[in-house]
Structure 1
Amino acid sequence: MTTKLKLIIYEEQTFKGGDDLFIDSTTENSYAVVFEDNGETGYFYAVDSKNMKVLDGLHIYNVANVTDKHKPSTLKILWTEDESKAFLSINNYYHAVFDFRNKAGYCRTGFPESNNSWTKIKERILTDTLIDSFSKSK
């Protein structure tokens, strides 16, 4: 039997695409994620907070391509109850997930390809089916 894991909102903030923004979220088990908009791009990072090391990064958007950047958006960082997976939601749409237990990062475009030793997967494209599978425990 599978049951749905509860997702918990750790961070929530209103912003506009292109705003200089840095939001971090750390769990008790030293997993951490950071969302950064530097005015040109939005990226979501997995971080080892114990050693302050970036483990992986996922491209979320290019500011120039954001159609509604003049309108406020709501960004949320959510974690599963067991704090093994972090989800990035913008306007209630999941853009990225880091699965710390399986050392994997996924985003809608699958960009960039992973070229580091932390990531243990090759296919990085985030789909709704994958999101559904992440939120279930066995």
Structure 2
Amino acid sequence: AGWTPPPEAPFSRLIVPTQDTERNKYIMVRLLEKHLPFLVVGATGTGKTVLVQQLLDGLARETWGRLTLNFSAATNSKTVQDIMEGALEKKSKDKMGPPGGRKLVVFVDDLNMPKKDEFGSQPPLELLRQWIGYGGWYDR
């Protein structure tokens, strides 16, 4: 018995299931089902991205849309807003949502990367905070 890696899976996307990884995936799925945001933290190279990618790969595509944002030092709030709005469709005059009546999971990788501005804030993170806290943002 034991675990056998899927033959078509690239090595960089493999993670050996352990009690901890399965426990974490279980909790993340429950949070997604409740539409609650969560943050996966840990040291560099510990498999956070691969774990979340595996979770996303396991979601039913007819129910869940996926949007991955890879942050860098050059990431700005306008780009983040444009990418997010590009994954949504207009539902009413001032409401947007995922197309096809699906739910949308937004995965942000390297959340710590955006450069601080002259005031010490990170505008892409402020945009995400506003979206999570208020369910949206105002037009620019």
Normalised by the length of structure 1, the TM-score is 0.26
**Bigger strand share:** 1
Larger radius of gyration: 2
Q: Which has the higher contact order (CA 8 A, sep 6+)?
A: 1
**Bigger helix share:** 2
